[in-house]
Amino acid sequence: MVVDHGTLIMTELVTYSSSNHIATITINRAERMNALNEEVILGLQAAWQKLEAGDDRVAVLTAAGDKAFSVGADVKDAPKEMWQGVPSIGAQTTKPVIAAVKGWCIGGSYVIVQMCDLVVAAEDTRFKYPEAQLGFTGGLIASAVARIPHKVAMEFMLLGEDFDARRALAAGMVNKVVPTGQEESHAQAWAKILAESAPLVVKSLKEFSLATLNKSPAEAGAIARDQLLGIKLSEDGAEGRKAFGEKRTPQFKGK
């Protein structure tokens, strides 16, 4: 369950703190190397929603512990809909998101980082996408071909080999590589610049950029599914089903 306490979203596994128009969103599951289960994914989705609705102008995404940003989906407790935790897919995010990454970043967690606007990586960062070797995929990774060179994206997606921080920098997967332990402070420094910049300009440039990028079928499908789930779970959706059962004309409110 996600509980909102003003400037802090609380689950056991995701927190949202706010200071000077900067949101810091943290995955807190270090004992499981920040593996993504249902609670983490829904906590991230709630955080993106709070960012969009609130006064914060930029977010820094980080994770607890020293070994991993995240090892991807929890194989013992997999999330139902991984895409729900991805910024700009599971929830609209017209405000910039900066990922501060360290240690392992594997599978679905790389997809989350891929969809962030800026990425600061620690020197010990290792990216990996092993789904072709494991026999499953959510498909969102295919959007990498719109964000980094095609041949590099295919290598990363298909071979399952590690990309260290320097290779990721050369490929355009990250913006900056910094000494391990300094990744969040560098991300916060960039966030401060964005928080003090003109919000309408930043928002417009992000929106135009997202509209320019090609979307993979999985990405477009996830965005459409999010919109349809919103209708299904709306007050009007509940009213329509109730009215049908009661054989009366529904009273819709557009909510």
107 and 128 Cβ atoms separated by less than 8 Å: yes
Sheet holding 68-70, edge to edge: 68-70, 104-106, 126-128, 163-164
163 and 126 Cβ atoms separated by less than 8 Å: yes
The two most distant CA atoms of the chain are separated, in Å, by: 66
CA 66 to CA 191: how far, in whole Å? 22
Confidence of residue 10 (pLDDT cuts 50, 70, 90): low
pLDDT of residue 242: 84
| Domain 3-197 bears CATH identifier 3.10.20.30 | no
β partners of residue 63: 27
What is the model's pTM?
0.87
pLDDT of residue 1: 46
Average pLDDT over residues 219-237: 77
* Residue 189 or 221, more confident: 189
**What's the pLDDT tens digit per position in 163-209?**
999 999 999 999 999 999 999 999 999 999 999 999 999 999 999 99
Domain assignments of the chain as residue spans, ordered by start:
3-197, 215-255
